[in-house]
Each structure stands twice: as C-alpha cells, then as structure tokens.
C-alpha cells in the first residue's frame, strides 16, 4: 500500500450565528493495487488470505469494522478479467437500505477527484443517475457487478471523507475543491437565487411532515423549490452554482452545498439527536459558507436507524434565519 498523506489534526472555522473552531482530521490518502481481488459490499476487499478494509469506507470505527463479521460473504463464480479502479456505490451492509446520493458523492465519487478517467468497478445496485456524476468527471466505462466478484487487478484509491477510529470526521479539503473544479464550478453568476431542496417522497423516512407549509413560506420569500432526483447533473450544478441561500433538510441531499458558492448561506433542517457531522455543516466549514442549523421535532422511527424519523419543522424559525 502506498501512503501518500498521513492523517493529522485539522481545525476549520465555523462561519455563522454560532462561530467557532471545529476539530476535524485531515484525511489520510492511500492507494492499493491488488491482484485477484474479491470485493464485498461497502469497503472490504479480499486478496489471497488477507482482508483489506481500512480506508475503504465511510467509517474506520471498530464498531463498523466488526460488523463485517456479521456479513455473509457471497462467493459467486464471477470473474472479471480486467484492470479496474474501485468506485463501488452503496454504504451499508443491509441490502434493504437504499443507495444514498450524499454518501455516494463524499464516500466514493470524491476518491476519484485526482484520478484520470479509467474503467471503474461499481456495484450493480448503484443508480445510473449517481453514475452520471462520475460521467461528468470524464469516467465512461463501468463494470457493474455483484458482491463477491473477483477482479484480475484492482486499483483502490482510499476514501477521502470518513469517520476515523475515534469517531472524528476526517476530510481532505483539497479533494472538495478539485471535485468542484472538475465539475466546472466557478464564480457565481451576477443573478443569484434562493433554493429549497425538497425532501418530498425521495425516502420512506426523514420526511418533513409540514413540507407544504414550509415551501409556501419559502416561495413567498423568493425561493425556488427543486427536486434533485428529477434533475440532470448540469441542472443541479446550475441551481447550486447560483445560490445565495440554500435551505436543505438533513438526508440524502445533505452534500448539495458542496457545489454552492463560498459566500452561500446554508440553512440545514434537522432534529435531535442527529449529529450530522457529514451533512451540510462539514461542507460549509470546508468552503467557509455561513451555516445555520434549525432543529425540528422528531416523530416516530420509520426506518432501520434511530435517526430515521420524520420530523416537523418550525417554519417561523426557518424564515427568521434567512
């Protein structure tokens, strides 16, 4: 394994109504090349008798790494006689949990920020609209496979945003800027917009129960309400690139402000006890954006995780935060 950069402490300034210094880690950067590699789920590669998992997924915490022991490693008779680079596409061992766009962007796509376009190994479960973001970086050749596939030679760039062994968020800010550069993000246009990113029915959980009321109030304040899952990559980048204010519920679109101007104000809607380390706050800290979090009232748990709850937003508080 080639170690390109070692992990080290990093401080970023939080810009907003509660300014301060936020402790992060600068992510480690590594690269592996393995022959006859067998790939499993979110971040485990078997080569010979050795398991590789550190730096390959969104968490290096022991509790996550231990979970791989509960996973039933399939051994399908599938062999790809190619030299490929690992992208993959989903982040949970539980196959009932749908692919999450934000996780895909910061866990997997960002690892390609500095890479030249090469053939990529991806999960058959990754939606094509996620792969459109890789296409926007110049990657066009995808080998879509099932868990347990064997590959003749596999190049594995490390994940550049993850939770380290102590639970501290780690990120490589230069990768964020490189990703923006490769997607053509430049200075914002003169005419700026206000954007609300609809939660809608994109997920069976973490829905905003009073979203119609919220959208009516924001529309009266000059907001455009968008549904990213129904937009092309270029349309999403255009919407984000012109935004002066973004209001975004915590969930699958939490990384959208990664593509907004540095002077954009980000208002993230969430609820206790969600920490949201890898949601809008991280990208706002990296880019210097103003960040405001408005907490709503959570309802009953509707998904597999304790944070999978629908919630009600305090609309007047959101409007006051504008």
Residues of the chain with confidence (pLDDT) below 70? 67-71, 201-202
Task: Report domain extents, the chain.
Answer: 2-182, 193-321
CATH architecture for residues 193-321: 3-Layer(aba) Sandwich (3.40)
User: Residue 74: what pLDDT?
Assistant: 73
User: Residue 34: what pLDDT?
Assistant: 96
User: Residue 75: what pLDDT?
Assistant: 75
User: Residue 192: what pLDDT?
Assistant: 96
Q: What is the 3-state secondary structure (H, E, C) of the chain?
A: CEEEECCEEEEEEEECCCCEEEEEEECCEEEEEEEEEEEECCCEEEECCEEECCCCCCECCHHHHHHHHHCCCCCCCCEEEEEEEECCCCCCCCCCCCCCHHHHHHHHHHHHCCCCCCCEEEECCCCHHHHHHHHHCCCCCEEEECCCCEEEEEEEECCCEEECCCCCEEECHHHHHHHHHHCCCCCCCCCCEEEEECCCCCCCCCCECCHHHHHHHHHCCCEEEECHHHCCHHHHHHHHHCEEEEEEECCCCCCHHHHCCCCCEEEEEECCCCCCCCCHHHHHHHHCCEEEEEECEEEEECCCCCCCEEEECCHHHHHHHC
pLDDT tens for 207-252 read: 999 999 999 999 999 999 999 999 999 999 999 999 999 999 998 8
User: Residue 288: what pLDDT?
Assistant: 97
pLDDT tens for 123-161 read: 999 999 999 999 999 999 999 999 899 999 999 999 999
């Amino acid at each position: 394994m080639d170690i390109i950069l070692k992990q080290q402490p990093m401080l970023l300034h939080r810009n907003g109504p509660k300014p301060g210094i936020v402790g992060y880690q600068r992510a480690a950067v590594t690269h592996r090349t393995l022959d006859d590699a067998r790939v499993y789920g979110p971040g485990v590669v078997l080569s010979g008798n050795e398991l590789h998992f550190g730096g390959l997924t969104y968490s290096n915490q022991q509790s996550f790494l231990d979970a791989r022991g509960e996973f039933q490693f399939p051994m399908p008779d599938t062999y790809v006689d190619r030299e490929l680079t690992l992208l993959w596409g989903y982040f949970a061992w539980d196959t009932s949990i749908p692919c999450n766009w934000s996780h895909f962007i910061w866990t997997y796509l960002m690892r390609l920020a500095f890479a030249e376009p090469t053939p990529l190994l991806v999960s058959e479960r990754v939606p094509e609209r996620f792969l459109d973001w890789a296409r926007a970086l110049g990657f066009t050749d995808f080998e879509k496979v099932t868990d347990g596939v064997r590959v003749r030679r596999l190049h594995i760039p490390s994940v550049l945003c993850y939770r380290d062994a102590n639970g501290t968020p780690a990120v490589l800010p230069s990768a964020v800027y490189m990703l923006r550069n490769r997607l053509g993000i430049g200075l914002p246009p003169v005419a700026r917009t206000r954007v609300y990113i609809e939660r809608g029915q994109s997920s069976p959980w973490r829905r905003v129960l009073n979203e119609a009321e919220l959208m009516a109030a924001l529309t009266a304040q000059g907001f455009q309400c968008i549904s990213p899952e129904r937009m092309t990559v270029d349309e999403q980048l255009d919407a984000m690139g012109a935004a002066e204010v973004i209001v975004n519920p915590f969930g699958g679109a939490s990384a959208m402000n990664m593509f907004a101007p540095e002077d954009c104000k980000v208002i993230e809607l969430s609820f206790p006890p969600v920490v949201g380390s890898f949601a809008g706050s991280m990208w706002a800290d990296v880019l210097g954006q103003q960040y405001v979090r408005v907490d709503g009232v959570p309802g009953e748990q509707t998904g597999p995780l304790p944070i999978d709850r629908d919630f009600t937003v305090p609309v007047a508080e959101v409007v006051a935060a504008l």
